[in-house]
Structure 1
Amino acid sequence: MASPSHRRPVRGRRPGLLPLIALAAVVLLVSLVVALRPGGEPDTVHTATEPSSSPRASVTPTAPKAKAKAGAEAKARPTPSVPSPSPARTTARPSARPSPVASPRPAPRAVSDSAPLAGRIKPKVTYQGVATHYDAADGDGACLYGPSPDLMVAAMNTTDYETSKACGAYILVRAAGGASVTVRVTNECPLPCAPGQLDLSKQAFAKLAGLSAGRIPVTWSLLSPSTSDTVSIRYKIGSSRHWCGIQALGHRNPLARLEVSTGNGWSRLTRTEYNYFLSPDGTGCGGPLRLTDIYGEQLTVDGIAVRPDAVQPTRVQFARH
């Protein structure tokens, strides 16, 4: 009987041990699951890196920057919905360029159809008068240019001569029958020559009518001819560093001003009826010169020494109009 009673307790302990082991295994498994589940410490890291799905993390930090940028570019970008800044810059450039494009336009050429410094004789105007003729000899006259290379010259009536302002002007003269001739003003025709009257050399008059006609009605207008010549400068006889008279020759357009450099700017000289510009106290004699035609174009000439009665060529010429 001892054996059976001994075997019973042994059988009774086996069933009780298995549940304990199973329970321990379950507890261990549960602890591991709890420790590793998303709610543990790794979950905290995940929450910090999850802003892409969270409205606060993705929108709140970036939205203020987008608004600030839009505010800064509001002037350059008319449509805030455009995301890329490059279209905004592309749009802004053309809007800023029209003014520079308009200003580089021929500022010098803006006066091509007008002559703000012209006197009585203006471009694009047709004048009516009469033509007579005289013996021009070598073509010299009141303008004191000296002998002319050709004898297609004219003397301008005193009114339109305008204290030698007409000197050097090229004039297209037309007769009633259609004949025409181009002459250069080198002389003055005193009274009784009337305003509008041209006294032509015999050679020029003969291009319009026979010399026996003596006096014919004409129309005439200012020209700006083509030429390969450049302007020349001449100092009057008796000129020095203390007094000088300066003359410009060979200019394509009528000359409006001649100025001398004073070191602090430009000083305009007075023009005489014999077509020299005078510096009575010697200011600027032998220094840089600035020439201005009736269209407002300016030419600067340097290196012209005071050499009385010597024709000194330059490298400049006024533009054709």
Structure 2
Amino acid sequence: MRRALVLVCVLALARAGAASELGCPSRVVVPDATATFYDPIGGNACGLPIAPGEFIAALAEVDWDGSAHCGRCARVAGPLGAVTVRITDYCPSLGNGLCVAGHLDLSRSAFLEIAAEEQGYVGVAWETVACEVEGPLRIYFDPSSNPWYGRIQIRNHRYAIASVEARLSGVWTDIPRTAYNAFELFPPGEPIASPLELRVTDVHGAVVTATVPFTTGVEHDADAQLAPCPEPDLALGATGALGALAAVSLLRPRR
């Protein structure tokens, strides 16, 4: 099932570029958004490992969509340039006037790539892009998993994950996704067998089928990576300058 960012009030959500000959949809472009920064401490709502120095971002809670965007990458253009971040968390919207639809809360290091720290709150434009990945798709079984419960997380993916299925008794069975970026498998009738055959589909319809040991606490390499889409021209321009999108104001007041 394909998911899209929630459209709320003044959020202008557009599509840039034509669909590719392979049927990949165009990227999501948010031309009039805002950004702040935070210092990531501890875990994150997506439950993903973060590499030292990695540029990351929290999506507004109103756009969270049950963790559907976890691990997705976005290119963010601000007053001083552009940066690519990976979505690993959400910014609570309740009682927070900043975390509105389309807003991104960037890690401090990412924010400094696009704006001066003293600004704190700036107008930005952003678009989804392919994550730079090395090696195959990775599958992680949480240590809480057991023969009657599988808590599965997909890692190292190029685009957002749309669905995960398991072959149970010869039948492909959809595994429900949770709001904390895990796919929870409750096998009917029989315990989970090892190895377990999984089918992973991304938002563009690319599919990887993997047979991996049902062992917990470690990442298992799939046999392949999800296929890349031909990338359309960047909607924000080669430099990422905000001037490429007149709808974005560089003079937003700091709240």
Same fold, TM-score > 0.5, yes or no = yes
Corresponding residue number in structure 1 for 2:74:
171
Corresponding residue number in structure 2 for 1:313:
221
Query: For this pair of structures, how many residues does the alignment match?
Result: 203
Corresponding residue number in structure 1 for 2:32:
128
* Contact 1:244–1:285 under 8 Å retained in 2: no
Q: Does 1:243 align with 2:152?
A: no
Corresponding residue number in structure 2 for 1:264:
170
The answer to which structure has the higher strand fraction is 2
Q: How much does 1:155 deviate?
A: 0.7
* Contact 1:235–1:306 under 8 Å retained in 2: yes
Corresponding residue number in structure 2 for 1:297:
206
* Whole-angstrom CA distance in 2 between matches of 1:285 and 1:271: 20
% identical equivalent positions: 28
Q: How much does 1:284 deviate?
A: 5.1
Q: How much does 1:174 deviate?
A: 0.4
Q: TM-score, normalised by structure 1?
A: 0.59
**Partner AA of 2:77 in structure 1:** R
* Contact 1:172–1:183 under 8 Å retained in 2: yes
**Partner AA of 1:129 in structure 2:** A
Q: How much does 1:229 deviate?
A: 2.8
For residues 25-70 of structure 1, the C-alpha deviation after alignment (integer angstroms, 9 at most, x for no partner) is: xxxxxxxxxxxxxxxxxxxxxxxxxxxxxxxxxxxxxxxxxxxxxx
* Whole-angstrom CA distance in 1 between matches of 2:88 and 2:166: 24
Corresponding residue number in structure 2 for 1:17:
none
Q: TM-score, normalised by structure 2?
A: 0.74
**Partner AA of 1:263 in structure 2:** S
Counterpart of 1:228 (choices 131, 134, 138) is 134
Q: Does 1:209 align with 2:209?
A: no
**Partner AA of 1:113 in structure 2:** P
* Whole-angstrom CA distance in 2 between matches of 1:110 and 1:257: 19
Q: How much does 1:127 deviate?
A: 4.0
Larger Rg: 1
Corresponding residue number in structure 2 for 1:157:
60
For residues 183-217 of structure 1, the C-alpha deviation after alignment (integer angstroms, 9 at most, x for no partner) is: 00111111121110000000000001111111001
Corresponding residue number in structure 1 for 2:251:
none
Q: How much does 1:306 deviate?
A: 2.0
Q: Does 1:180 align with 2:88?
A: no
* Contact 1:260–1:284 under 8 Å retained in 2: no
Note the residue ranges of structure 1 that are not aligned, 5 or more in a row. Answer: 1-107, 115-122
* Contact 1:181–1:208 under 8 Å retained in 2: yes
CA distance 1:241–1:141, change in 2 (3 Å): same
Counterpart of 2:92 (choices 183, 190, 205) is 190
The answer to which structure has the higher helix fraction is 1
**Partner AA of 2:119 in structure 1:** A
Counterpart of 2:46 (choices 143, 147, 160) is 143
Counterpart of 2:22 (choices 87, 110, 123) is 110
